Amino acid sequence: MQTKSIRATVAFIFLAAVTVNLVAYQSAPEALTPDVRAALDRISANSLRGHLSFIASDLLEGRDTPSRGLDLAAEYIASQFRRAGLEPAGDDGYFQTANFALSEFDPRNFELILQAGATTIHVNANQVTPAFLQKWTLATTGVVKVPSNDTATLAALTAAQVEGKVVITELPGAPGPAQVSAFRNVLRQVQVLRPSLVVILNRQDPPEPVQLIDLETRPAENPASPNASLTLHAPEAIALYDALPAGITAATLSLRTASLERPVKLRNVVGLVRGSDPTLKDTYVLVTAHYDHVGISPSGDGDRISNGANDDGSGTVSVVEIAGALAALEQKPKRSIVFMTVFGEEKGMLGSRYYTRHPIFPLEDTVANINLEQIGRTDSTEGPQVGTASLTGFDFSEIGTILQAAGESTGIRVYKHPTNSDSYFSRSDNQAFAAMGVPAHTLCVAFNYPDYHRPGDHWDKVDYENMAKVDRMVALALLMIANNPEAPKWNEANARTANYVKAWRDRHPASQPGVR
């Protein structure tokens, strides 16, 4: 009873603080000056259609990270920032350049042996996708089987049983968003037990022989690290796995690897509308989207290019369109607004995480991030989503209320999805910024829709009129944030925000205690 009373009191304080703080914001109608209305009117369904028909064209081959198509997309985005007159903010014009490497196993120096009883299986290098392995020898080691859908087996295992051993699990059979999220949770729980290696069986897809490596974050060679993993697509190994009991097994695995690497450069694309206030111009509102997708399927008949029109071509062209509209304002906003499209979200939010390690603008001076993801398709599997948009972590900060107010003036209902709002919070690029304490959320129209991560996600299936209305709402909300001397605050009354509140306070040690 006491805990509930305290939480109720804190919640009341937060709601009261939100009400007071929104008074400091221009209301959405007040923010709609003739200059702002003219800027919002520049956001055009036809312009969005033109941008997306290129970004999601077959020429760009699904914008895999890395790929020629991704590079073409980056050049196109930079050209549109240049056309709009944004200030270049990267280390190379509009580009923030990151050094990665492509790694593949050297078949001359590869040996993987699985053994169980009288069965011995020699796996070939071309049946394995490497991840976080360079040159490594793993002596014969015991195997622990953890079926990805067997929560009881995982819960029963202890670190003493697993540490130093090899864990074998498998990808879910139909990896939709919910299944992917559940599988990532399994991997996190496995990593806590500190196995020497995680082997992930893939029954569905052939292996990807080349792996993208972040040179700054990969483990050292021969790591005693739960990050060491590889994905296996070998029918004999899958048959052996199926025959093993769940949990501790009598099977063993040994491994010898050596990798061949070649460097690649990946680029975030960053432009700036400089603020007009002498003090607030050195604080930043960040709007983002990822411009990569999943590329070309290695096998199959017919169309194999996953064009990613909605995921996340829609967010990418929205960043471009909103940037052009706000850059045309005669009266620039008080704070600076940063427009950025990032690489490698589909590979693990690589571009946004790179930026937060190498921020162009100080993170302690970045007051908010609105990330745009899947805002073009209205044909959700939950039914048509016309005139609506949902925000992940809707009540984690004041940003949800600000977007809601902007939506009331632009004809978009911004709401909290009863299940997906919280569960999707950590599944897009906003998470990298939230982890650093920046109030950051992802705006989405359709969480799930036909053709997700499939070749059918074409540009002609996007509802451009609706996307233009959503973009006008986002543009207005950005101006409301940028023109308010009070920065948006995290909601301390929500227990899910504790880590984000702590990260914010760590970056603002001189601030007074309170709801921030």
Same domain, 81 and 113: no
pLDDT at 26: 61
DSSP three-state, residue 496:
helix
Query: Is position 514 within any domain?
Result: no
Per-residue pLDDT band at 10 (split at 50, 70, 90): very low
Residue identified by tokens 């004999």 is 236
State whether 112 and 86 are in the same domain: no
Contact 201/112 with Cβ under 8 angstroms? Answer: no
Q: State whether 8 and 137 are in the same domain.
A: no
Does residue 22 register a pLDDT over 60?
no
Give the model confidence (pLDDT) of 451-476 as tens digits.
999 999 999 999 999 999 999 999 99
- pLDDT at residue number 35: 94
Single out the residue in 231, 257, 283 at which a domain terminates. 257
Indicate if 460 and 435 belong to the same structural domain. Answer: yes
Residue-wise burial string across 405-434, b where 16 or more C-beta atoms lie within 10 A, e elsewhere: bbbebbebebbbbeebbbebbbbbbbbbbb
Rounded distance, CA 393 to CA 17, Å?
A: 18
Q: Please state which of the ranges 40-49, 210-219, 364-373, 407-416 shows the lowest mean pLDDT.
A: 210-219
Q: Are 115 and 34 part of one and the same domain?
A: no
Whether 251 and 347 map to the same domain: the answer is: no
Confidence band, pLDDT 50/70/90 cuts, at residue 491: very high
Q: Which residues, 6 or more positions from 139, have their beta carbon under 8 angstroms from its beta carbon?
A: 254
Q: CA 185, CA 191: separation in Å to the nearest integer?
A: 10
Rounded to whole angstroms, the Cα distance separating 409 from 32 reads 9
Domain assignment present for 515: no
According to DSSP, residue 313 is labeled I
What is the enclosing helix (H) or strand (E) of 19?
helix 2-24
> In this structure, are 252 and 355 located in the same domain?
no
**Same domain flag for 41 and 148:** no
Rounded Cα distance between 415 and 401, Å, is: 9
343 and 283 fall within a common domain = yes
Residue 512 counted as domain residue: no
What count of residues does the chain have?
516
Q: Which residues contact 266 (CB under 8 A, 6 or more apart)?
A: 65, 66, 70, 97, 98, 100, 343, 344, 350, 351, 354
pLDDT, tens only, 248-293: 999 999 999 887 888 999 999 999 999 999 999 999 999 999 999 9
Distances (CA, A) of 347 to 144, 179, 282, 342, 446: 27, 17, 32, 12, 21
Residue 119 lies in a domain: yes
Q: How far is Cα 253 from Cα 259, in angstroms, rounded to an integer?
A: 19
Are 435 and 318 in a shared domain? Answer: yes
Three-state SS string over 356-395 comes to HHCCCCCHHHEEEEEEECCCCCCEECCEECCCEEEECCCC
Residue 498 lies in a domain: yes
Assess contact for 315 and 289: CB atoms under 8 A. Answer: yes
Long-range contacts of 148-154 (CB under 8 A, 24+ apart): 148/172, 148/182, 148/183, 148/186, 150/246, 153/246, 153/247, 154/186, 154/189, 154/190
β-pairing, 111-116 with 119-123?
antiparallel
Higher pLDDT: 149 or 45? It is: 45
If one counts every other C-beta atom within 10 angstroms of the C-beta of residue 160, the result is 8
Same domain, yes or no: 30 and 132: no
Q: What is the pLDDT of residues 112-137, one digit of tens each?
A: 999 999 999 999 888 888 665 556 78
Say if 65 falls within a structural domain: yes
> How far is the first Cα of the chain from the last one, in angstroms, to the nearest whole number?
26
Q: In a 10 Å sphere around its CB, with 0-12 CB exposed, 13-18 middle and 19+ buried, how is residue 101 labelled? A: middle
Report how far residue 486's alpha carbon sits from residue 21's, in angstroms, rounded to the nearest whole number: 7
Whether 513 is covered by a domain: the verdict is no
Reported as a pLDDT band with limits 50, 70 and 90, residue 230 is: confident
8 Å CB contact between 133 and 259: yes
Domain boundary among 257, 286, 312: 257
Structural domain count, the chain:
2
| Whole-angstrom distance, CA of residue 180 vs CA of residue 188 | 12
DSSP β-bridge partners for residue 372: 443
Is the domain of 137 the same as that of 213?
yes
**CATH code, domain with 366:** 3.40.630.10
Closest C-alpha among 272, 268, 290 to residue 281 = 272
The pLDDT value given to residue 168: 96
| Structural domain contains residue 516 | no
- Residue 369: C-alpha distances to residues 285, 381, 487 (Å): 6, 27, 11
Q: Are 133 and 230 a contacting pair, CB within 8 Å?
A: yes
The whole domain housing 190 covers 107-257
